[in-house]
Chain A
């Protein structure tokens, strides 16, 4: 079992948590996901509030029967797809290599600790 609470395991996790590699991984993860989460939530609620309270603005025709509201709504789709792709590229480049490194170095230790 992976979560067997042997002293070796606890020590290993504590050592990893204090390592520079792990700190860097955590920093890179949080400094991406938290600001981006704030960003898309603000954009989503700005859109919702406009749709809810600024009917005239949203009904402004842009071309043909397409109005501002429809374009902003489709913009939510575009931003969702874009953020998804952005995160995947970021994670593949900046998060996965460190996580894989830590795993490759420690997996053996953890397995041994679990066997005791």
Chain B
């Protein structure tokens, strides 16, 4: 079964690509220095950057995944969106401004500021690349699933071609447009996504006389009375409840450690604009998640659980099916194009983050020890973009049909266990040391990875990646509840046992800079 007319879906998406390509080419004219390429010359305003953050953050998983989860699992789906939103307060209160004031291009700039630079930078770059890699794979795999639903391409070869096209487009955007082009793609996509979801929300509410209670009643009647109560998905056993707690922890602490989110704070001229960006992002993301609540229950009410689950794409098909039900093939075409644009924009943001981290942290500062010829860094970054793009295409084809949600949850768990402890410690704890940073980052990263490998996600359950063997011993699908406290504990333990004297002058400089913005990187002038 295919929904709507694939040709129409493709042409609306094609129009989006054409418009954004023109904008990217125009925006790229001023890309001269590293600050231009990595941080868009720090010239975006807070509202622009906030919209781009929303564009970066609201991935296809957020849109299709949460709508579908609410339609099928009801209240338990709603819980995801709350974790994803509340997490932004960590970024707003504890991270965004201090990070903007202290760093230059990457998360590692801040983490290695007052510690022994090369090992800490290398660890931060490793964690950055790991998070980007899993997030990227999830997005590429999601693209494959979307294709089968919206374009009617069900065979693996066709899906692979589409993944390759998405990958190639993404390489083109990032190669040509750098951070400026990527940001514009994200801004346009965020606007389309929020307006599109908003129109559908008002439409659904209008059908029920703008009475939320009636809408919920219809969803309960049509799908399952339990959708209004918590526990459909996670309430079955004690283990699944614990798993939910683990996920909730990873969601709320992961966001402020996501490198592609952190990097966006460098695209604005001052810390005050960084604060404004987060405020805009919180409103945009919050309102969007409120829309998904209505859309999810709307899909449950108007389409029903059975029909959603039996369609190709399963849970993810709730939002597209609802669009078709409401506005026929035109609205479906628009929503599908927005969903594709979403994948493209998120993938572009991840790629430029990974490439920047490799070129700026690993190549320029660790390998070349800071002695790079002008433009050498950006050249390496561009080459890295192509390499990462090719990896993402091959990886995306490889993970087709896999359980996508776990890849995203894993990225959040790594961000929360490997990145966040070190970020918070280095901003707020004077005694934090190089050893603490290394233990925390490598320990958090390794424990999250190991626990995932030996969890039912990888082996031993019906939905596992490897089906016939069982080498699992960790019972939860999300490692957060173990690996996040471990990351914090290792950072503390490493610091109090360390005998190395850290650079006191650097600590003073970081302390003053982070709060006052004195000597912070300024916008480039053209």
Question: Quick one: closest B residue to A92, CB to CB?
Answer: B272
Identify 28 residue pairs between A and B in the complex whose beta-carbon atoms are under 8 Å apart, listed by A's number.
Answer: A3-B519, A10-B508, A17-B508, A17-B512, A25-B515, A40-B89, A44-B86, A49-B245, A51-B230, A52-B248, A64-B217, A65-B217, A65-B220, A66-B213, A69-B75, A69-B230, A73-B75, A77-B85, A81-B283, A81-B286, A83-B89, A84-B88, A84-B92, A84-B278, A84-B279, A87-B92, A96-B272, A99-B516
Q: Which B residues form the contact surface with A (CB < 8 A)?
A: 75, 78-79, 82-83, 85-86, 88-90, 92-94, 211-214, 216-217, 220, 228-231, 234-235, 241, 244-245, 248, 252, 272, 275, 278-279, 282-283, 286, 289-290, 428, 505, 508-509, 511-513, 515-521
CB <8 Å contact, A106 and B279? no
Selected from B213, B248, B519, the residue in CB contact (under 8 A) with A48 is B248
Residues of chain A contacted by B508 (CB below 8 angstroms) = 10, 13-14, 17
Selected from A2, A25, A65, A73, the residue in CB contact (under 8 A) with B82 is A73
Min Cβ gap B102→A in Å is 10
- A26 CA to B305 CA, complexed, in Å: 53
In A46-70, which residues have CB < 8 Å from any B CB?
Answer: 47-49, 51-53, 55, 58-59, 63-67, 69-70
Residues of chain B contacted by A2 (CB below 8 angstroms) = 519-521
- A37 CA to B428 CA, complexed, in Å: 13
Min Cβ gap B201→A in Å is 14
CB <8 Å contact, B228 and A70? yes
Residues of chain A contacted by B229 (CB below 8 angstroms) = 55, 58-59, 67, 69
Q: Which A residues form the contact surface with B (CB < 8 A)?
A: 2-3, 5, 9-10, 13-14, 16-17, 22, 25-26, 29-30, 33-34, 36-37, 40-41, 44-45, 47-49, 51-53, 55, 58-59, 63-67, 69-70, 73, 76-77, 80-81, 83-84, 87-88, 91, 96, 99, 102-103, 106-107, 110, 114
- A33 CA to B93 CA, complexed, in Å: 6
Min Cβ gap B245→A in Å is 6
- A3 CA to B101 CA, complexed, in Å: 12
Min Cβ gap B277→A in Å is 12
- A34 CA to B148 CA, complexed, in Å: 47
Given A63-B213, A80-B88, A58 and B230 touching (CB < 8 A)?
yes
- A106 CA to B516 CA, complexed, in Å: 10
Residues of chain A contacted by B213 (CB below 8 angstroms) = 63-66
Residues of chain A contacted by B428 (CB below 8 angstroms) = 30, 34
- A63 CA to B244 CA, complexed, in Å: 28
CB <8 Å contact, A9 and B509? yes
Selected from A37, A91, A99, A106, the residue in CB contact (under 8 A) with B94 is A37
Task: Contacts A58-B75, A65-B220 known; list 16 others, CB within 8 Å.
Answer: A13-B508, A13-B518, A17-B508, A33-B93, A34-B428, A40-B89, A44-B82, A44-B83, A48-B248, A51-B230, A52-B235, A52-B241, A52-B244, A66-B216, A70-B78, A107-B518
Given A2-B521, A66-B213, A76-B82, A48 and B245 touching (CB < 8 A)?
yes
